[in-house]
Amino acid sequence: MIEVRNVSKSYGEVQVLRDISFSVKRAESKIILGSNSSGKSTLLRLLMGLEKPDSGEIIIDGKDITKLSEWELIKFRKNKSIVFQEGALFDSLTIRDNVGFKLYDEGWDEEEVDEIVFKLLQFVGLEHTIDMYPSELSGGMKRRVAIARAMAGEPNVIFYDDPTAGLDPVTSRTICDLIVKLRDIEGVTSVVVTHDLSVAYFISNFMALVNDEGMISLREQSEDFCFINSSFLMLKDGKVIFDGSEKALKKCEDPFVREFIS
Ligand SMILES: Nc1ncnc2c1ncn2[C@@H]1O[C@H](COP(=O)(O)OP(=O)(O)O)[C@@H](O)[C@H]1O
Ligand SMILES: [Mg+2]
């Protein structure tokens, strides 16, 4: 679904990304770890086509997005979404208008948007907030609204930039549940930047299942119930120092990786 080949990016004299290569399969979560200023957010901006790398290729949906014009990028981004660290809702708009923003923009009529927005809010368990403003919601609720907004337009890829930053563990868990549900039930490919290892392991160890009645439940993977739907990438000073499964990550002998996961 995503293939990054030898991507480098500098700002002035500072090289932020150095010869980055990795790939993400359809409906897989790529979990990106790394300390502050290692280039994680920059990488997400490149993957969304918000900036261009200095060199290298980024193939998404079979196209090298580094070669697309601004107009083609707008089309490319129609079914891609990004959840920013702070949720980044519009404070002056209701939750309905925040979640429906992209759909209104695409010219859907009000009734259709209303119906879709309600369903999206139901998915994140916040349909009762539809007429409220962001200021009336807790930090965790805002983040869930941001995820509902990201789901509008049925994206096939969602990028999450530290979606649980500043949230308590219980609220973080509700965000992780949504990321896992979107991946396993809706088949959304995701790239999840996080500094929180418990978030990373949750996304890598749990999977969402839906039963005959349409009820969704989460199940922890084990020896006899294992479905590999995530992998890890670790950045250090703009370079990939690890790319592989959770099992391989835990066995990795690189001292920086060991220190990071210990
Ligand atoms: N637009 C920019 N102009 C100049 N420097 C930038 C810009 N964006 C990011 N940087 C620098 O690139 C480095 C990596 O930043 P970032 O991608 O935000 O890291 P992370 O998300 O891993 O914390 C930092 O040193 C940051 O100061
Ligand atoms: Mg960042």
Task: Round to whole Å and give the CA distance between 253 and 57.
Answer: 30
User: Angle at Cα 187 formed by Cα 183 and Cα 189, nearest 5°?
Assistant: 65
pTM of the model: 0.93
- pLDDT, position 166: 85
Nearest ligand (C-alpha, residue 42): 1
Q: Which atom of ligand 1 is nearest to the CA of 162?
A: 21
Q: Whose CA is nearest to atom 24 of ligand 1?
A: 37
Task: Round to whole Å and give the CA distance between 165 and 209.
Answer: 27
Please classify residue 219 by burial: count the beta carbons closer than 10 Å to its beta carbon, then call 0-12 exposed, 13-18 middle and 19+ buried: middle
Task: Round to whole Å and give the CA distance between 46 and 193.
Answer: 14
Please classify residue 16 by burial: count the beta carbons closer than 10 Å to its beta carbon, then call 0-12 exposed, 13-18 middle and 19+ buried: buried
Task: Round to whole Å and give the CA distance between 161 and 110.
Answer: 30
Task: Determine the distance separating the centroid of ligand 2 and the alpha carbon of 211, expressed in angstroms.
Answer: 37
Task: Round to whole Å and give the CA distance between 262 and 246.
Answer: 14
Q: Which atom of ligand 1 is nearest to the CA of 161?
A: 21
Q: What percent of the chain has pLDDT over 90?
A: 75
Task: Round to whole Å and give the CA distance between 42 and 31.
Answer: 15
The topology under which CATH files domain 27-50+155-261 is Rossmann fold (3.40.50)
Query: Taking 90 as the threshold, does the pLDDT of residue 262 lie above it?
Result: no
- pLDDT, position 107: 86
* Token output for 51: 């900036």
Q: Whose CA is nearest to atom 17 of ligand 1?
A: 39
Task: Determine the distance separating the centroid of ligand 1 and the alpha carbon of 261, expressed in angstroms.
Answer: 23
List the one residue out of 155, 183, 26, 164 whose CA is nearest residue 81: 155
In eight-state DSSP terms, residue 45 is H
Query: Taking 70 as the threshold, does the pLDDT of residue 226 lie above it?
Result: no
Over residues 76-106, the pLDDT tens digits come to 999 999 998 776 899 999 999 999 998 988 8
